[in-house]
Amino acid sequence: MQFPPTNGDFTFVSSTEAEELSGTISAPDVKLNLGSDNGKDPYATTFLRQRGYGGCWREELDIDLKDIYYKIRCVLMPMPSLGFNRQVVRDNPDFWGPLAVVLLFSMISIYGQFRVVSWIITIWIFGSLTIFLLARVLGGEVSFGQVLGVIGYSLLPLIVIAPLLLVIGGFEMVSTLIKLFGVFWAAYSAASLLVGDEFKTKKPLLIYPIFLLYIYFLSLYTGV
């Protein structure tokens, strides 16, 4: 004898043994949470998701803010006694950190000479290319990405001294000393990372053009 299934019951009837197999399937409650807890996604996150960047746009663009922050500290505090692993700036190059530093330096330079802003990015790229080619000719084992990252990050000392130059611009002697300090600071940060032991006696041949490059960067800001 068969009974019609009701309320989720089902019935199997064997054609050979005429046995009835019956049971019940209970469907679990399934809840989908497609948004945040309050049901409101930030506009920027929603915008990026709609364009295929997924949940975390920093991962899609390969942006590591902690790594960038650590590299900034390594450049601003280049003394070995401070205990920073400064080689990470060279051995683990990235693009977005140096680009942000160069753009920040460009924005600061707008105050002095607006027309040189486009030149700063150009000099960053082609200056890094020149240092890279020279390093390879001298026997160094560096890539263009490494040189580009180190040169970009090492602009930070010039950004630090820029507000000081605005404050004490009227004192020519003090201003000149601060400019020299900033250039030496930037050049030392870059050269200590790029000029390794493989250059041996050829180190000055690479340190000198790095020093000249940051002098030119400073001249783009000061207009001198």
State the DSSP string of 23-69. EE--PPP-----S-TTS---HHHHHHHHTT--S-HHHHTT--HHHHH
- Residue 24 falls inside a structural domain: no
Query: Which pLDDT value is given to residue 65?
Result: 82
pTM for the structure as a whole: 0.65
Q: Which residue has the tokens 């679990």?
A: 28
Residue 12 predicted with pLDDT over 80 = no
- Residue 51 falls inside a structural domain: no
- Residue 31 falls inside a structural domain: no
Which structural domain range is residue 180 located in? Answer: 65-222
pLDDT tens-digit series, residues 183-194 = 999 998 888 888
Q: What percent of the chain has pLDDT over 90?
A: 12
**Total domains present in the chain:** 1
- Residue 40 falls inside a structural domain: no
Highest mean pLDDT, choosing among 13-27, 53-67, 82-96, 127-141: 127-141
d(CA 222, CA 178) in angstroms, rounded, equals 12
- Residue 49 falls inside a structural domain: no
- Residue 45 falls inside a structural domain: no
Any idea which of 49-58, 123-132, 151-160 has the lowest mean pLDDT? 49-58
Q: Which residues contact 111 (CB under 8 A, 6 or more apart)?
A: 166
- Residue 13 falls inside a structural domain: no
pLDDT tens-digit series, residues 140-163 = 788 898 899 999 999 999 988 888
